[in-house]
Structure 1
């Protein structure tokens, strides 16, 4: 049943903002030195005729959303072009509802159709579905922002039965033995109230990042900010470090975890995570590193809170049995979590 708080999209504007990184960021086999952010302004109207504008922005991280041997420039331009296509689809999208409902329907029909159409004549150069989702995410953020602005409430307070027409069973399919578990449940049921005012920051340690003074060759930026990990920990009081690994060089990955772990312990950081960025094709690669840490550096092993993406991006194409890894440490899925129907 429709609600008086429902909205629909009326106008869309798109901007592209080029950004150069302060230092190169290496993750997996890719290195990022620049990125384009897509910024979206989206105007909506309510059933009483009032309108409001919301904003959304996300980096078009080419290397992350589209790992490929294709030239960077080709992938970069393709993402920007697809954002323009998505903008056109949103401008034509006249579905009424709550942003969760509008966005879900758009993803199922308009976005998937635009993606398939775009790839129809790109044999061997197809854009991944993850890339399409990231392009669309800025529009989705703007939609939710506009909804809260229209009604003068924090958007996160609207993910309830009072504001939404559909419960979670419309978006998620339960396993047969849990049938009905999403009935009359809403996103707010899984959010923490009152919201925490502080959260621990995970500082990303890139594959090219300098760790201590021994790495500093004097070529780093002279802008008043730290250039080595040890100084970042001291300056910001960091407690959690996310370590980007190669996934194809076990010796380097092990040594990197050891060095970061030692610096973390010396400077008072508490937790580490190991991110393999979809480069691992055999779980044994990961379990051998973990077992070596447990045997030779148990204090570093104990600091390792979870392991991220120890499997390829394309889970359907390259399924891996990672139970041996999860028996040692919790697993975190990132890039591969783009299709919950798998």
Structure 2
């Protein structure tokens, strides 16, 4: 199906940002986030026949996730991501030859990682700019072709192949893509951060904005049955906090739990000791039984060289921050990991190729030998959350971590105008709910309605008010 891939040139790329203020502090790993810029890309493509279209994408510039070096400030982290965006724009616009969407990505994947590395930027940072730009280009392509994201990928109009994944040689990627069947709904997996209040007794300063603040309130208000629990790597403190969480979640029917280590355990032995303690704690019996997997327990510097089979024999383990390059997942599988996250900040093509790897290996094994999960980078209402939902829905994931709607008050927390907010609500019926002065993600019975994402373009019928956005800030010298 490569013959059907649509070629185009990248004519223009505009880079913007807008501040986001959190309604609640979000503690994950080594950072407590209270405010952060969101990046936006607007790109124009031109087809060989002269047709042209604009597309857009957005992503939070989360500090201390791409690079957790404590010597760097949050502003340093923001500048790293701004640099990645500018590098991607320069690379993609410098190549005037019409190519398929995947060809644009493939041509610049390794060179951008190398160029970023020369500036001391790791592969996760290097891939941030291209991940945004690739989504904007795909949005433009879908729009000019009158196709939905689902149709464009299933028909391989983007031209995906296995050239960057040696382990997929001989695997029919086009047939795999064609077999994908998105759903109309997806379950929301609610994140419980390290400083999130569990009950009203934990609340020092009530927010009083009408939205849930404590875990108890979240359970009552959303009907969620899926929860992602952050752990700190301090076993005694983690066991105590998980026991309190387990008490609140005990009445939840069909409870599903995942645990996120955020690189906080010193080694594989420490992570295994933690899980053994969880299983040995009577108050955590139900929670342990309902835990699907443990996410990224080890620091990325050692994760892909550490044998995690002793832990994985007790509970599946997946990589998230360690998934810095396209060969990371196969390397992880060799160490006993069986899962990898889908996170659009790492690139839509990485998620699709990793999904193909799971299909290939599971078909060979005749069983679920490896898996993917849908994890969040505090994606915001609008382009970011819609495109990520479409991606994980297409590759068949039944639940997705969503935390941006909890820590940020919808479009209002992004400083978006009411007109912009309502335009998104009108364009994506079912996904959002509107009040007199706010538009927020709509959660019903723990699920999100995805009907509106199956329309021309990359999962959006509306755009930010581009004129209201700030040009991407200059980086500090």
Please indicate the TM-score interval, normalised by the length of the shorter structure: 0.7 to 0.9
Which residue among 255, 261, 268 is the counterpart of 2:240? 255
The answer to whether 1:181 aligns with 2:174 is no
Matches within 5 A, 1:295-314: 295-297=280-282, 298-314=285-301
CA distance in 2, matches of 1:82, 1:189: 29
CA distance in 2, matches of 1:131, 1:88: 16
Aligned to 1:209: 196
Aligned to 1:57: 58
Residues 160-187 of structure 1, C-alpha deviation per residue, up to 9 Å, x if partnerless? Answer: 56635553x323111xxxx8432x3227
Matches within 5 A, 1:94-243: 94-109=96-111, 111-117=112-118, 119=119, 126-160=120-154, 163-165=157-159, 167=161, 169-174=162-167, 180-182=169-171, 184-186=172-174, 188-189=176-177, 192-193=180-181, 195-217=182-204, 219-243=205-229
Uncovered stretches (5+) of structure 1, i.e. residues with no partner: 120-125
- Contact 1:203–1:242 (CA<8 Å) still a contact in 2? yes
Aligned to 2:10: 9
Aligned to 1:122: none
Shift in alpha-carbon separation, 1:166–1:76, aligned structure 2, 3 A: closer
Which residue among 285, 303, 311 is the counterpart of 1:325? 311
**TM-aligned CA deviation for residue 152 of structure 1:** 0.4
Aligned to 1:287: 272
Residues 225-278 of structure 1, C-alpha deviation per residue, up to 9 Å, x if partnerless? Answer: 11101111110111111111112x111111222222221113446011110001
**TM-aligned CA deviation for residue 8 of structure 1:** 1.8
**TM-aligned CA deviation for residue 14 of structure 1:** 0.6
For the aligned residue pairs, the C-alpha RMSD in angstroms reads: 2.2
CA distance in 1, matches of 2:267, 2:178: 34
284-293 vs 232-241, greater mean Cα deviation: 284-293
Aligned to 1:93: 95
**TM-aligned CA deviation for residue 208 of structure 1:** 0.5
CA distance in 2, matches of 1:263, 1:283: 29
Shift in alpha-carbon separation, 1:260–1:140, aligned structure 2, 3 A: same
CA distance in 2, matches of 1:171, 1:260: 42
CA distance in 1, matches of 2:176, 2:8: 20
**TM-aligned CA deviation for residue 311 of structure 1:** 1.4
Structure having greater relative contact order (Cα 8 Å, sep ≥ 6): 2
Shift in alpha-carbon separation, 1:213–1:150, aligned structure 2, 3 A: same
The alignment partner of 2:109 has SS state of helix
**TM-aligned CA deviation for residue 27 of structure 1:** 0.9
Shift in alpha-carbon separation, 1:114–1:2, aligned structure 2, 3 A: farther
Aligned to 1:20: 21
Aligned to 2:49: 48
6-15 vs 257-266, greater mean Cα deviation: 257-266
**TM-aligned CA deviation for residue 190 of structure 1:** 7.4
CA distance in 2, matches of 1:220, 1:58: 29
CA distance in 2, matches of 1:207, 1:14: 33
Uncovered stretches (5+) of structure 2, i.e. residues with no partner: 332-477
**TM-aligned CA deviation for residue 138 of structure 1:** 1.1
Per the normalisation by structure 2, the TM-score is 0.64
Per the normalisation by structure 1, the TM-score is 0.87
- Contact 1:202–1:242 (CA<8 Å) still a contact in 2? yes
Shift in alpha-carbon separation, 1:302–1:84, aligned structure 2, 3 A: same
Shift in alpha-carbon separation, 1:263–1:113, aligned structure 2, 3 A: same
- Contact 1:204–1:243 (CA<8 Å) still a contact in 2? yes
